Amino acid sequence: MMKFSAALIHRRTLRLGIALLSVLMAVQATRAYNGSQPNIILVFTDDMGYGDLGVFHQNDRVGKRHATPNLDRFAREGVQLRRHYCPAPVCAPSRASLLRGLHQGHTEVRNSDFDKAIPDNHTLGTVLQGAGYRTLHVGKYGLQGLGPEGELGNSYANQKAYNNPAEWPAYPTKRGFDEYFGYVRHVDGHVHYPNNEWPIGNSESHRTGKEVWHNNEEVSASLDKCYTTDLFTAFAKKWIVDHRKENADQPFFIYLAYDTPHAALQVPTQAYPEGSGLDGGLQWVGEHGRMINTASGEIDSWIHPDYRNPEWSNVERRFATMVRRIDSCVGDLTHLLEDLGIDEDTLVVFTNDNGPLAVSYIEGEPFTPIHFQSYGPFDGEKRDVWEGGIRMPSLARWPGTILEGTIDQTPSQFHDWMATFAELAGVPMPALSDGVSLIPSITASGERQPSSVYVEFKHGRRTPNYADFHPSHRNRPRGEMQAIFMEGYKGVRVDIKSHADAFEIFDVTTDLKETRNLAGTSEYFVGLEQRMRDRTLQMRRPNADNPRPYDGELVPPVGLEATRPGLSWKAYTGSFPWVPKFWSKKPDYVGTATGLNVDLGPNKGAIVYSGYIEAPEDGEYLLYLDSSARAIVRLHEALLIDADYGYEGGEIASRIALKSGWHPITVHLLKSAGEEPKLDIEWSGPSFARKALATESLVH
């Protein structure tokens, strides 16, 4: 294997005070951030629409409406992320993108891959563990892998008989969480009393008792009359209190993923307990058969007094009560932080997995999002890529740091939380991640990098024929779908048959219901539509389990004018836990090189090479990497080679179809102290055999 020629290095001395991560300048605009690591709580609901949040829609709605007073207060005390998007309009791929820090063009879990394992790689949990956090996941998971049976089509009884934490390859404690308590399987989260039959359910699978796992122990037998919204909140509260007693100096991360108001419209046993916080509200009792202080009375019986309106249907009263219960839990949790004196040391993020769904599991009593306009002022519901299916009710609260009453209208997406939490924790984001830090958005200061907001999904049914949806959307086939945001506009394709199908283009800042298609209306929009199609090929990779009609398309090049031979590079000295990516940190050294072998001498550090590679003709290319150090290779934005997490050397190959021309390439390399890393890249093309990547094929 041929090695690259020696680099011609032109170094520039960096400013003094090299640190692991740049200081959070954006935060200083609201409070002088002292560099300490905040606690982080990510509250995640299931099928709660943008329109279900009071401050986003319900409070101003004419007619029937429900309320979220605690979340409204949360919004007033923090920032409203009014254009925060889920990566796919159904739960499993959304949760996978959230945990992995990847958009749907890169995650392994796509479409309806319920219970598919996320790989042994970076997650929110591993990144924050690497920063010294204690990590907890409580609630719904659904990404554990299928165990020895291996098929989603197996009966639920077989899954229960054969699956357990030892067999699930991607159980939460194997993916970055020190502790786990909750529903592992996707289907378990369809009902909300794990140890009690629900006699009014219309499906046997939705009535059977479900398993709740606490680390390696199945504990559902002790959870009589435990309503999961209450159960998961009480567990999280107890965990925080215990952690403060035992490890007060260690920051914590909690991923609290409710399974409500999703699926079965089940309600609590009783009113929310008096008070909130340390001594009130929900409490963990810890007794078999009475695990929490609301595990008494009659299951599925209590309707909030505000909704006992005889003009409301049974399902309307139930749904509104479920949302109000989540609201009470969030208020209880934030009050606990105040009682413990850690309110100003804790960032709490609230969001949801996908748009609202028409379901009740009560025979003869259907429920749809139209009852309360859960999709808000938009069209679309769960499994749609219209705004109602993908725009999420999202808030962030951090007293003393986040400016109260802020409203952010900048598009962002779930994979941005990995970059955000990493920056707050004082570690760089993994170069693997597709996200950008949202700190400028949540602190209303500074400038942030634009998010790569991208959705792809497939579903065989149609958008509902709701009366308040625009006629152009009603009963429209879904099929293969995409959404992408570029240059301030949203592109949408539904029922895609080939890559030649055009994007519809909307300005969703003013056209909330996506009724005015701008595609083709001017020369600019003709060009933008083509740029949208090009970028979807440049930013994603095919997934064998979920083929798309555009998977085989040739990735288009970029136009270049004046160029210089070789690559430019930036070097960052320091000790990094993984291959890092920096947005604002200034490099210690910069230069140009004819190859990929810059020598940092005895320093530890990371090197980022960037430039362009020329594909001489249309066709399929293979790139081969063999390295003594960990590395990440991207072509355009597409993640081509991942040799970071768990990589111990050896060759990795990746295949990509390219149009002839210049394609941007970025190589992130991690270097250990005293080591001159070996980094060899070879390639083969349509008309040439495998060979070293020639210097003349690289420019910057």
Domain boundaries, the chain: 41-444, 455-538, 567-699
Report d(CA 420, CA 402) in Å as an integer: 14
Cα dihedral 236, 112, 127, 78 sign: negative
Helices vs strands, H then E, count in the chain: 11, 32
Nearest by Cα to 422 from 275, 278, 585: 585
pLDDT score for 195: 94
Asked if the 455-538 domain carries CATH number 3.30.1120, the reply is: yes
Tokens of 596: 């990929």
Instruction: For 58-110, write each residue's pLDDT tens digit.
Output: 999 998 999 999 999 999 999 999 999 999 999 999 999 999 999 999 999 99
pLDDT score for 150: 58
Report d(CA 336, CA 133) in Å as an integer: 20
Q: Would you give the DSSP letter of residue 13?
A: P
Where in 384-432 does DSSP place strands (E)?
391-392, 395-397, 406-408, 412-413, 429-430
Same topology, domains 41-444 and 455-538? Answer is no
**Coil, strand or helix: which one is 86?**
coil
Q: How confident is the model at residue 371 (pLDDT cuts 50, 70, 90)?
A: very high
Indicate the pairing of strand 567-573 with strand 605-615: antiparallel
pLDDT score for 444: 76
Report d(CA 486, CA 628) in Å as an integer: 38
Where in 252-360 does DSSP place strands (E)?
252-257, 284-287, 290-292, 346-352
Q: How confident is the model at residue 43 (pLDDT cuts 50, 70, 90)?
A: very high
Question: 363: buried, middle or exposed (CB in 10 Å: 19+, 13-18, 0-12)?
Answer: exposed
Tokens of 616: 């001489």
Q: How confident is the model at residue 332 (pLDDT cuts 50, 70, 90)?
A: very high
Instruction: For 183-207, write each residue's pLDDT tens digit.
Output: 999 999 999 999 998 876 655 555 5
Burial 647-656 (b: 16+ CB within 10 A, else e): beeeebebeb
- In the predicted model, is pLDDT for residue 3 greater than 70? no
Angle at 654 between CA 650 and CA 656, to 5 degrees: 165
Residue 387 · residue 512 · CB < 8 Å: yes
Nearest by Cα to 99 from 129, 125, 74: 125
What is the overall mean pLDDT for the chain? 90
Residue 252 · residue 348 · CB < 8 Å: no
Question: 279: buried, middle or exposed (CB in 10 Å: 19+, 13-18, 0-12)?
Answer: exposed
Instruction: Give the Cβ contact number of residue 153 at 10 Å.
Output: 7
pLDDT score for 18: 25
CA-only gyration radius of the chain, Å: 26
Domain 567-699: CATH superfamily is Galactose-binding domain-like (2.60.120.260)
Report d(CA 399, CA 59) in Å as an integer: 24
Give alpha helix (H) positions in 633-675: none
Q: How confident is the model at residue 32 (pLDDT cuts 50, 70, 90)?
A: very low
Say whether the peptide bond before residue 38 is cis (omega within 30 degrees of 0).
Answer: no
Where in 244-352 does DSSP place strands (E)?
252-257, 284-287, 290-292, 346-352
Residue 391 · residue 50 · CB < 8 Å: yes
Q: Is the whole model's pTM more than 0.85, yes or no?
A: yes
Nearest by Cα to 543 from 46, 180, 107: 107
The torsion angles phi and psi of 681, rounded to 5 degrees, stand at -125, 125
- In the predicted model, is pLDDT for residue 445 greater than 60? yes
Tokens of 112: 């309806």
Instruction: Give the Cβ contact number of residue 604 at 10 Å.
Output: 16
CATH class, range 41-444: alpha beta
Q: How confident is the model at residue 597 (pLDDT cuts 50, 70, 90)?
A: confident
